Amino acid sequence: MSTKLSFRKDFTLGGELTVRRMGYGAMRITGPGIWGPPRDRAEAIRVLQRAVELGVNFIDTADSYGPHISEELIAEALYPYPAGLVIATKGGFLRSGPNQWHINASPKHLKEALEGSLTRLRLDSIPLYQLHRIDPTLPFEPTLEFLQGVQEEGLVQHIGLSEVSVEEIKKAEEYIEIVSVQNKYSQDYRKWESVLRYCEETDMAFIPWNPINAGNLGSMSSVEYVASKIGATPHQVALAWVLYHSSNTLLIPGTSSVQHLEENLAAENLELTEEMLERLEK
């Protein structure tokens, strides 16, 4: 019989913020195209509150989600925040409409974005502030100097990056300590495997966004096979695989439904065997 495997449930960011590896991504509590308010505001509030009730203590958002809507709802639902709750937000995008995203990582824009996030989230300091994207139209150095400065001021505790290569992480590390990297990654999208391995080597968190490919798993026979064996959904298996694949991953599946939230969080309890994991690794 194939041996059942296990994984650690927690991860410590920057040596001081211990979070449950199964977190929540707050992008989906906005309107269509990540624009405007959610169709069901009351349900969005319930999702946030239920996540915390179920032990989630890592919530990921961004000033561009809505824009601003996601951060406002987090504060409305959860403030005053329970002890140990880590809220991560991001800056570096401008929005002009549904599904429209424009990179702007200039110090001027990031300053405005950070000040807005602090106000909306009702925080004096952001536990984890992430650069949403490196701006291809600007030198990287001024952006890094800005992040270095706001950390020294105490406006952010820890700093992360998103959609970056190993070389870009190393460049950033010349200025600041990087504690997390958030790149697109899932069981069927592994472009950033080298970044994940670098995170393991340096004890950074790797935060995969779109961990179940926005729910579009297609005809992935290995996921469907494992799901049928253990009585789970393919989405739950895809999430569990991320937790088993590396102990440095923090999961942030997003949803605007309490029922779907509970289904996602239950993926943490799936028990996979060596044989199952081998199938999924292929």
As annotated, the active-site residues are: 65
State whether residue 261 is helix, strand or coil.
helix
Token pair, residue 232, equals 């789970």
How open is the CA angle 259-265-267, to the nearest 5 degrees? 115
Token pair, residue 129, equals 């502030």
What is the side-by-side strand order in the sheet with 58-60? 24-25, 58-60, 86-91, 126-131, 156-162, 178-182, 205-206
Give the helix ranges, DSSP H, for 81-207.
107-121, 140-153, 166-172, 193-202
User: For residue 209, which of 169, 161, 258 has the smallest C-alpha distance?
Assistant: 161
Fill in the DSSP letter of residue 61: -
